[in-house]
Amino acid sequence: MIRRLVAAVLLIFPFTSASASADELRLVAGELPPYAFHVPPPTVAEAGEPMGLVYEVVREVAWRIGHSGTVEFRPWVHAQELASTQPNTGILPLTRSPEREDKYRWLFNVITDDLVLVGGAGVDVRDLWSVRDRPVGVLRRSGADALLHGHGFNRVQTATEEWINAQRMKDRLIDAWLAPRLMVLYAYREVGGDVSELHIGQVVRRSEIWLAASKDISDQEARRWQDGFERVRADGTYDAILARYVRLRPEPVPEGRRSVEIQWVN
């Protein structure tokens, strides 16, 4: 009960990294490891260390252009609603997909991953259509979610965090899982799984992970962020951040958090 109350408070009063001025681009993010997340997660602690490949790159870019680097962590669905409906709002880490193309101003691509189809034992994942009538796990309101629903998949199982899909895959509650490769590997390790057990099949499409923003952002403001990103790449900072996350070993999902979250997520 205490953990649930703490989590509710944190959703109302989200983590921030620094004080922000009223006129700078508001940055919102979701708990999407290894791209942006807290250690420990907000469901098991009152505070945590914000980190993540995309989070750190965006913060470095922000500092280069005189932005405070403040990032608000919000529930992922809420973060997307803010960035697509509120002015002067940036969002990370957002996969650029055809379903989202017209909803945001795309500032820069932090990393390109693969959207992969992952299968359980004995499940053919060489082709997406082979699992059309099987239970397939996806992150709720993600590009993978929109893709499967757009193609008429009728047994899509959504989750608020990818570790829930990992746990379901490990427990054989779903037959397949569609997600970016780095998120799959991180989440499966989080739940104590051996990634060598995973059957990674079709690369459904390239998964570009971006900093995006509300469509009202001016060309001048967009160029400031794009130029800042080029500076972070040019001086070696980007490569150093990437190297750290390639080697990162996640902490296991605590048992208490696991039992609370799995019960109510559909």
Rounded CA-CA distance 145/211 in Å is 20
Q: What pLDDT, on a 0 to 100 scale, did the predictor assign at position 16?
A: 44
Query: Which domains occur in the chain, in start order?
Result: 2-110+209-264 (3.40.190.10), 113-207 (3.40.190.10)
Question: pLDDT by residue (tens digit) across 120-155?
Answer: 888 999 999 999 999 999 999 898 999 999 999 999
Unique residue bearing structure tokens 């470095």: 60
Q: What pLDDT, on a 0 to 100 scale, did the predictor assign at position 148?
A: 95
| Backbone dihedral angles phi then psi of residue 189, each to the nearest 5 degrees | -70, -35
Q: What pLDDT, on a 0 to 100 scale, did the predictor assign at position 266?
A: 34
Tell me whether residue 247 is exposed, middle or buried, using C-beta atoms within 10 angstroms of its C-beta: 0 to 12, 13 to 18, 19 or more: exposed
The residues of the chain scoring below 50 in pLDDT are 1-19, 258-266
The three-class DSSP label of residue 135 is coil
Is residue 75 within 8 A of residue 28, CB to CB? The reply is no
Q: What pLDDT, on a 0 to 100 scale, did the predictor assign at position 48?
A: 80
Query: CB count, 10 Å around CB of 252?
Result: 12
Rounded CA-CA distance 186/198 in Å is 12
CA angle 130–132–136, rounded 5-degree value: 105
Q: What pLDDT, on a 0 to 100 scale, did the predictor assign at position 141?
A: 85
Q: What pLDDT, on a 0 to 100 scale, did the predictor assign at position 214?
A: 97
CA angle 156–41–263, rounded 5-degree value: 40
